Amino acid sequence: MIRVLVVDDDFMVARIHERFVERTEGFTVVGTAGTGADALAAVADLAPDLVLLDVHLPDMDGIEVLRSLRASGHGVGVIMVTADRDADIVRAALLGGAQQYLVKPFEYPALAERLRAVARSLKALRTETEPDQSAIDRAFGGGAPGAEPLPKGLSVETAASLLAALEGAGEVSAAEAADLVGLSRVSARRYLEHFVTAGRATVRLRYGSAGRPERRYLLG
């Protein structure tokens, strides 16, 4: 399990983010904090794997918290979760070592995809002593959902929703995938074929007694 600390000065927002994290397979919330000082103390006490970190906190901003963590040698993963779109803040988060930056407000699939992207980054090097370039790319976020350009007519939001719905669903056909998120079979197949091309999914042909074989898709 990836252990998550939620940092937000708005109690209700923090609770929503907690529920989103707990809803995502492989993640659990180990604590919450409403100030920068409490966040730093919680990282020291709880040793989480990942922090969901708001920028605007009452005592110091999230960028200061991030810099303090890195200056102290903490390698904890950080996802900045904020309504702030200022380019300087985004740049500071990137240079400070944040793995992801998610703008509020957002729906569950958007956070779930970024959580899974961080999980893939952590997993990429877990068993590697001398990683090859593909493992290094995965560790640095290459291949993360939405990172690859989508073909014309496909949306990042729908792709993220479909990926979230398919997580843990096992092998599915285009028709089954379409039913999960309310797409047409043709649209679902376009997304699924894109995932295959991007290396996000594999496809298997299932042969029946007659007619063309059915294409079955599996994430991973």
pLDDT value of residue 133: 62
pLDDT in tens, 183-196: 999 999 999 998 88
Task: Indicate yes or no: pTM above 0.75.
Answer: no
pLDDT value of residue 30: 98
pLDDT in tens, 59-76: 999 999 999 999 998 889
Strands 201-206 and 214-219, how do they pair? antiparallel
Beta strands in the chain (DSSP E): 2-7, 27-33, 50-53, 77-82, 100-103, 201-206, 214-219
Bond from prior residue into 48 cis (ω within 30 degrees of 0): no
For the segment 101-106, the average pLDDT, to the nearest whole number, is 86
Is the confidence at residue 145, as pLDDT, over 60?
Answer: no
Q: What is the DSSP letter of 49?
A: S
Is 177 buried (19+), middle (13-18) or exposed (0-12) by CB count in 10 A? buried
For the segment 133-145, the average pLDDT, to the nearest whole number, is 54
Cα(54)–Cα(118) distance, rounded to whole angstroms? Answer: 17
189/153: higher pLDDT:
189
